[in-house]
C-alpha cells in the first residue's frame, strides 16, 4: 500500500466551472476525511465518512460542494460553480477506527486555483 | 465549537538547540491531541500524539506534554536538525466527534545550520 493518493495534484479552473477531486485511502482504513487548507492556515474540516456513510459535514461545505464514497473505498469531492474563494489545497486523510491510531494519514492534496 | 490556538507562528533556532511550540484548546471534551509536520508540497504527517489520560509522551527527540486543567499542550523538539525545518500543527480531537480534528494555525520552524 502506497498511502493515501489524491488526484489531480493541481487543478486550474475558470470561475463557474465544476471540478471533481479523487481520493484513494489506505485500503484497510474505514474512515475518510476531507479538509481544506489555505495559505498560512491549518487544515479546516469539511466532511468525513465511515465506510460509505457520510457522518458529518461542516458548515463550510456549502450546497455547491458534494462528497461521495461509493462502496466505502475511494471518495470524490465535487465543487460546482467554482468561485475564487474556493482556491485552496484540498486534503484527504484516512484512518482505521477502531483498532488503529486515532491520527490521520494524509495525502499530498489537490491544489485548486480558480481564475 | 472547538478552537485551537497555537504560538508562536514562526520560530527560528540554531541547530542543536531546543524548540517549543505551545497550544491551547477550548473544548474540555477533547481527548486526543496529535501533532503534525508539514513539509513544502506535502500533506501533514503525524509525528506524535497524546491522549487525555496521559500527561507526557516522548519519542526520541520529540516530546509532548498535556495539562488538561489548563487546556494546554506543548511540543518539545530537542537537538534540532536542519531537517526539522517545516510547519508544525497542533490539533485537538474527540472520540464522540468521530475524531474530527481541529487544527491550530501552524508554527513555521526554521533550524539554522
Q: Is the pLDDT of residue A2 over 80?
A: no
Phi-psi region of B96 (alpha: psi -120 to 50; beta: other; left: phi over 0): alpha
Is the four-CA dihedral B43, B65, B73, B87 of positive or negative sign? negative
User: Is A106 part of the contact surface with chain B (CB cutoff 8 Å)?
Assistant: yes
What local confidence, expressed as pLDDT, does residue B105 receive?
Answer: 97
Is the four-CA dihedral A113, B3, B4, B8 of positive or negative sign? positive
Residue A109: which pLDDT band, with cuts at 50, 70 and 90?
Answer: very high
* Contact state of A102 with B102 under an 8 Å Cβ cutoff: no
Q: Compute the distance between CA of residue B61 and CA of residue B13 in angstroms, rounded to an integer.
A: 15
Residue B69 makes CB contacts below 8 A (sequence gap 6+) with: none
* Contact state of A42 with B103 under an 8 Å Cβ cutoff: yes
pLDDT digits (tens, 9 = 90+) for A40-81: 999 999 999 999 999 999 988 889 999 999 988 999 999 999
Query: What is the least distance, in Å, from the CA of B14 to any CA of chain A?
Result: 23
* Contact state of A33 with B100 under an 8 Å Cβ cutoff: yes
Contact predicate B88/B103, CB 8 Å: no
Could you tell me which chain A residue has the CA closest to the CA of B31?
A102
Q: Compute the distance between CA of residue A23 and CA of residue A39 in angstroms, rounded to an integer.
A: 21
Average pLDDT of every residue of chain B: 95
Question: Given B41, B46, B101, which is nearest A45 (Cβ)?
Answer: B101
Interface test with B, best of A4, A102, A107 (most B CBs within 10 A): A102
Residue B89: which pLDDT band, with cuts at 50, 70 and 90?
Answer: very high
Q: Compute the distance between CA of residue A40 and CA of residue A59 in angstroms, rounded to an integer.
A: 21
Name the CA radius of gyration of chain B, rounded. Answer: 13
Contact predicate A109/A37, CB 8 Å: yes
Residue A1: which pLDDT band, with cuts at 50, 70 and 90?
Answer: low
DSSP A6-53: EE-SEEEE-TT--EEEEEE--TT--EEEEEEE-TTS--EEEEEEETTE
Q: Which residues of B lie inside 8 Å of A (Cβ-Cβ)?
A: 4, 6, 32, 34, 36, 41-46, 49, 51, 89, 91, 93, 95, 97-106
A86 grid coordinates:
474556493
For range B37-50, the mean pLDDT:
96
Residue B95: which pLDDT band, with cuts at 50, 70 and 90?
Answer: confident
What local confidence, expressed as pLDDT, does residue B2 receive?
Answer: 84
pLDDT digits (tens, 9 = 90+) for B2-36: 899 999 999 999 999 999 999 999 999 999 999 99
* Contact state of B100 with A101 under an 8 Å Cβ cutoff: no
For range B68-91, the mean pLDDT:
97
Query: What is the least distance, in Å, from the CA of B9 to any CA of chain A?
Result: 9
Amino acid at each position: 500500500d502506497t498511502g493515501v493518493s489524491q488526484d489531480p495534484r493541481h487543478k486550474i479552473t475558470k470561475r463557474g466551472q465544476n471540478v471533481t477531486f479523487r481520493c484513494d485511502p489506505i485500503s484497510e482504513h474505514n474512515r475518510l476525511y476531507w479538509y481544506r487548507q489555505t495559505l498560512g492556515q491549518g487544515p479546516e474540516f469539511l466532511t468525513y465518512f465511515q465506510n460509505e456513510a457520510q457522518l458529518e459535514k461542516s458548515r463550510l461545505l456549502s450546497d455547491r460542494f458534494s462528497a461521495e464514497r461509493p462502496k466505502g473505498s475511494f471518495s470524490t469531492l465535487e465543487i460546482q460553480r467554482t468561485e475564487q474563494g474556493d482556491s485552496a489545497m484540498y486534503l484527504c486523510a484516512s484512518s482505521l477506527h477502531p483498532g488503529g491510531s486515532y491520527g490521520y494519514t494524509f495525502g499530498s492534496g489537490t491544489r485548486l486555483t480558480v481564475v | 465549537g472547538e478552537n485551537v490556538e497555537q504560538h508562536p507562528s514562526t520560530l527560528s533556532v540554531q541547530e542543536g538547540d531546543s524548540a517549543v511550540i505551545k497550544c491551547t484548546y477550548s473544548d474540555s471534551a477533547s481527548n486526543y491531541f496529535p501533532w503534525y509536520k508539514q513539509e513544502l508540497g506535502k500533506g501533514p504527517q503525524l509525528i506524535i500524539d497524546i491522549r487525555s489520560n496521559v500527561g507526557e509522551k516522548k519519542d526520541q527527540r520529540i516530546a509532548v506534554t498535556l495539562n488538561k486543567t489548563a487546556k494546554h499542550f506543548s511540543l518539545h523538539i530537542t537537538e534540532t536538525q536542519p531537517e526539522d525545518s517545516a510547519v508544525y500543527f497542533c490539533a485537538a480531537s474527540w472520540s464522540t466527534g468521530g475524531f474530527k480534528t481541529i487544527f491550530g494555525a501552524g508554527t513555521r520552524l526554521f533550524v539554522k545550520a
